[in-house]
Amino acid sequence: MPGFLSKFKKKIKEIYGEDSLSWFDSSYALDWIVVLGLYLLTAFIETQPIFERDFSPNDSLIQHPHTSEQISSYANAMIAIALPAALVGLIGGYRSSILEIHHGLLAAHTSCALTQLVTSFLKNRVGRLRPDFLARCQWDASQHVCTGKIHDILNGRKSFPSGHSSTAFVGMTFTALFLAGKTAALCFSVSPFSGSLLGSRFVRLCIVLAPLALSTWVAITRVEDYRHHKEDVIVGGLIGILSGTICYLLYWPSPFSASSFLPETMGRPRLTLDNDTSNRPRTDNYNLAPDDANLDFV
């Protein structure tokens, strides 16, 4: 069995490169466990009672009509989660790199899990009312109670921050940075694609900004649909941008640095053990001093 495993690993490295199994490390297994833990913690928060903020039936901020959504939660998940995953798989498959696929998926899920946790916690504890809350509530003035469906009422207390915005921005921020790491669109001191379509700096910049334009559109629809106040989508967007950026940089080199686009490092993720020095030799040319050497320290 050990011999078969060694041959299998050797074959994988021959096909996909020497670093193809670099992701098979206990530290990455721990990262995946933490990601799963974040998802489970988010699910637990969703089961907790929501803070019920007092309100006035005369508050104009919550008197808007309850309309249909332009972008459903399912469609938003496809935009923010499935699209980045498909892009990672496509580019990683084209480059025959299992390592890049693994690091791309890990970074995407890490950022998404962190964003969902922060968003769900704030929604639960802040309890801000949506702009269409009174339409959901169906206020009975004689009894001073809401008579609407309990699910709609509780959901109407989850305006801050916008989950659609945070989810869309975390997915599209990761996508933008991932594309920037492959095209050097945000590193203006290098141009690795001279003589091709990607040689145009403006084309590369547009490719990178396109995902962010998509997430901005998602955020705008939440205000148009009276699902969120403008502050909700702004804060939600910031949560997504920060989470996406931080988690991307955990596993991939900075797309703003020229050192990330050297021939030996371009497009490659960070590794646990080499700390972005994949081209460094495994041994350094240091000589040990003789045992009886006279070493003076000042």
Give the pLDDT confidence of 132-188 residue by residue, as tens digits.
999 999 998 888 899 999 999 999 999 999 999 999 999 999 999 999 999 888 888
> Which residue is catalytic, options 103, 109, 164, 229?
164
**pLDDT average, residue stretch 51-62:** 92
- 164 a catalytic residue: yes
Nearest to 87 by CA among 177, 201, 198: 177
> Which residue is catalytic, options 66, 102, 103, 228?
228
Q: Give helix 201-224 / helix 163-183 axis angle, nearest 10°.
A: 180
**pLDDT average, residue stretch 47-57:** 93
- 64 a catalytic residue: no
Give the pLDDT confidence of 13-31 residue by residue, as tens digits.
554 555 555 555 678 889 9
Domain boundaries, the chain: 25-51+71-253
Q: Are 160 and 124 in contact (CB under 8 A)?
A: no
Give the pLDDT confidence of 186-216 residue by residue, as tens digits.
888 777 666 666 778 888 899 999 999 999 9
The pLDDT of residue 126: 96
Give the whole-number percent of the chain exceeding pLDDT 70.
79
Q: Are 279 and 264 in contact (CB under 8 A)?
A: yes
HSE, CB side, 13 Å, CA atoms: give it for residue 1.
0
Determine if residue 214 is left, alpha or beta; phi over 0 gives left, psi from -120 to 50 gives alpha, anything else beta: alpha
Q: How many helices (H) and strands (E) does the chain have?
A: 10, 2
Q: Are 164 and 236 in contact (CB under 8 A)?
A: yes
Written as one string, the DSSP assignment of 145-214 is EE-S-HHHHHHTT--SS-HHHHHHHHHHHHHHHHHHHHH-TT-TT--TTTTSGGG-HHHHHHHHHHHHHH
> What predicted TM-score, i.e. pTM, was given to this entire model?
0.82
3-state secondary structure of 44: helix
**pLDDT average, residue stretch 267-278:** 58
The pLDDT of residue 286: 38
